[in-house]
C-alpha cells in the first residue's frame, strides 16, 4: 500500500493541526467531523477537503474527542468505536491503515481491531501536542507507536517514521546512524524485519518510538498525563501548606527550584484542560486489581485546592493550564 489519500476524522484542537501537517508533507488530505463548523474551519484555514464517506482512503487518522458529552472529565470511547464501525463497513482498500491518535484507555485499539477484523491495520500513535508551545511540541515531535500485530506496526512505521525503513535491497549498508537505530528498534520487536526492509519514499517524517504491544502505547499516554497531574497536585498541596503556615509560596518555590533535580510547578487555577483530569481517570480505571492510591489522593488535593480558591473569591483567569 502506498500512502497518498488520507482521511483525518475529528478536526478539533488536535485534528486540525494534524491534518494540516499531513497535507504539508505532500499527502492528499480529507477531513470528517460530526461538527459542520469544524469541517468548514478546516477547509477555510487548512485547505482540508471535506469527506462525505469513509470509502476510499489509504490511511485513516482518528483524532476525535474521547470524553463523555455531558462530562469532559470522564472518558468515553463510543465515538472511536462507532468510527471504526463506519470504516469497517465502508472502506474499500484492504490493508489500509487506521491510526488512533486520540487518547484512549488500554484495550481500545484491540476493540477497534476486532471491529475491522484485521482487514485494515491498526496502530495507536498518541499525541504529545501542546497548544501553547506548538513550535517545540507540535505534531512532529517524538512519539510512541504500537501496533496490534507486527504487520500493523510495520505499516504504521512506514507511514509515520522520519527515517522509516530505507532501501535494504541494494545491500549498500548506507544507513545513517539514526536509521540504523530505527531499524534496530523495529528488529527487536520483529526480528524478521532486518532482512525484509524495502524502499518507501514518502512518510510523515515524525521520529517514532515503536513499542512491542499496543497496550504500552495506550498506557504511555495516560501515564504521561497522570504524572503531570501528580506534579501539579503536589504544587497545589504545597500552596495550601504555605497558606496554613504563613509561608510565601512563590519564595519557597523559587528557592526549591534552584536545586538541579527539583521542579515545583505553579498551581494556578486547579488542574484544568480536558486532558489531564480525563486521562488520569482513564489510568485510575485501567486496572481491575491495583488502583493508584497516590492519584486518588491527588484528585482529592485538587478538589481541596479548588475549594480554597473559590473561598478566596478568585475570578477565573484565562491562562496556561499546565496541560500536556
Ligand atoms: N488538545 C490537546 O492538547 C490534546 C493533546 C493530546 C491529546 N489530545 C487528545 O486528542 C483527542 C482530541 O482532542 P481535541 O482537543 O482535538 O478535542 P476537540 O474537542 O477540540 O475536537 C474533537 C473533535 O472531534 C469531533 N468529534 C467528536 N466525536 C466525533 C464523532 N463520533 N465523529 C466525528 N467527529 C467527532 C468533534 O466535533 C470535535 O471537532 C482527545 O482524545 C484528546 O484527549 C488532545
**What CATH number is given to the structural domain containing 130?**
3.40.50.720
Structure confidence by residue, pLDDT tens digits, 139-172? 999 999 999 999 999 999 999 997 654 434 433 3
Closest atom of ligand 1 relative to the 129 alpha carbon: 5
The chain-wide mean pLDDT, for the chain, equals: 88
The rounded percent of the chain whose pLDDT value lies above 70 is 84
Instruction: Calculate how far, in angstroms, residue 237's C-alpha sits from the geometric centre of ligand 1.
Output: 31
pLDDT value at residue 209: 97
Given a cut of 70, is residue 19 above it in pLDDT? yes
Q: Which atom of ligand 1 is nearest to the CA of 12?
A: 21
Q: 40: left (phi > 0), else alpha (psi -120 to 50), else beta?
A: alpha
Rounded to the nearest whole angstrom, what is the distance from the C-alpha of residue 134 to the centroid of ligand 1? Answer: 17
Q: Specify whether 45 is located in the same domain as 182.
A: yes
Centre of ligand 1 from the C-alpha of residue 67, in Å? 9
pLDDT in tens, 27-39: 999 999 999 999 9
35 CB within 6 A, ligand 1: yes
- 200 and 307 both lie in a single domain: no
State whether residue 143 is helix, strand or coil: strand
Sorted by sequence, the CB contacts under 8 Å of residue 181 that are 6+ apart come out as none
| Distance (Å, whole) CA 128 – CA 120 | 25
CA gap 280, 283 in Å, rounded: 5
Position 188 scores a pLDDT of 59
pTM for the predicted model, two decimal places: 0.88
* 318 lies in some domain: no
Q: In terms of residue numbers, what domain contains 234?
A: 218-311
31 lines ligand 1 (CB under 6 A): no
Q: Above 90 in pLDDT, residue 210?
A: yes
- Ligand 1 proximity of 321 Cβ (cutoff 6 Å): no
Q: For residue range 271-306, list pLDDT tens digits in order.
A: 988 899 999 999 999 988 888 999 999 999 999 999
- pLDDT score at 175: 30
Looking at residue 318, its pLDDT comes to 40
CATH number, domain with residue 275:
1.10.1040.10
How confident is the model over 308-320, as pLDDT tens digits?
999 987 554 444 4
Per-residue pLDDT of 172-209, as tens digits, reads 333 333 444 454 556 556 555 554 555 556 899 999 99
pLDDT per position as a tens digit, 34-86: 999 999 999 999 999 999 999 999 999 999 999 998 988 889 999 999 999 99
Give me the pLDDT at residue 274, please: 80
Same domain, 251 and 186: no
CA–centroid distance, residue 286 to ligand 1 (Å): 21
Contacts of residue 24, Cβ cutoff 8 Å, sequence gap at least 6: none
The verdict on 239 and 203 lying in the same domain is no
CB 150 within 8 A of CB 167: no
3-state secondary structure of 246: coil
Which domain-ending residue is among 155, 176, 209?
209
Q: Are 107 and 122 in contact (CB under 8 A)?
A: no
- Domain end, chosen from 167, 187, 209, is at 209
Amino acid at each position: 500500500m502506498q500512502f497518498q489519500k488520507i482521511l483525518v476524522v475529528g478536526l478539533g484542537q488536535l485534528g486540525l493541526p494534524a491534518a494540516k501537517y499531513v497535507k504539508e508533507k505532500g499527502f492528499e488530505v480529507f477531513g470528517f467531523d460530526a461538527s459542520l463548523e469544524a469541517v468548514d474551519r478546516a477547509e477555510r484555514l487548512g485547505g482540508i477537503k471535506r469527506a462525505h464517506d469513509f470509502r476510499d482512503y489509504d490511511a485513516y487518522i482518528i483524532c476525535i474527542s474521547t470524553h463523555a458529552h455531558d462530562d469532559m472529565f470522564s472518558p468515553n470511547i463510543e465515538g472511536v468505536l462507532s468510527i471504526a464501525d463506519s470504516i469497517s463497513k465502508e472502506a474499500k482498500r484492504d490493508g489500509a491503515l487506521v491510526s488512533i491518535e486520540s487518547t484512549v484507555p488500554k484495550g481500545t485499539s484491540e476493540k477497534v481491531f476486532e471491529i475491522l477484523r484485521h482487514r485494515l491495520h491498526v496502530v495507536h500513535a498518541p499525541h504529545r501536542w501542546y497548544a501553547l508551545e506548538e513550535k517545540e511540541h507540535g505534531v512532529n515531535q517524538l512519539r510512541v507507536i504500537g501496533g496490534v500485530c507486527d504487520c500493523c506496526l510495520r505499516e504504521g512505521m512506514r507511514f509515520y517514521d522520519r527515517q522509516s525503513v530505507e532501501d535494504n535491497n541494494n545491500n549498500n549498508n548506507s544507513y545513517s546512524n539514526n536509521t540504523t537505530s530505527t531499524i534496530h528498534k523495529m528488529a527487536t520487536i520483529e526480528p524478521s524485519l532486518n532482512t525484509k526492509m524495502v524502499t518507501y519514499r514518502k512518510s510523515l517524517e515524525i521520529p517514532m518510538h515503536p513499542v512491542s504491544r499496543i497496550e504500552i502505547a495506550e498506557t504511555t499516554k495516560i501515564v504521561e498525563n497522570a504524572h503531570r497531574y501528580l506534579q501539579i497536585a503536589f504544587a497545589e498541596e504545597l500552596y495550601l501548606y504555605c497558606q496554613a503556615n504563613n509561608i510565601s509560596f512563590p519564595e519557597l518555590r523559587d528557592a526549591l527550584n534552584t536545586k538541579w533535580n527539583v521542579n515545583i510547578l505553579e498551581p494556578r487555577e486547579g488542574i484544568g484542560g480536558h486532558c489531564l483530569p480525563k486521562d488520569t481517570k482513564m489510568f485510575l480505571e485501567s486496572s481491575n486489581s491495583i488502583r493508584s492510591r497516590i492519584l486518588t489522593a491527588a484528585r482529592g488535593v485538587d478538589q481541596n485546592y479548588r475549594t480554597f480558591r473559590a473561598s478566596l473569591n478568585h475570578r477565573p483567569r484565562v491562562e496556561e493550564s499546565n496541560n500536556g
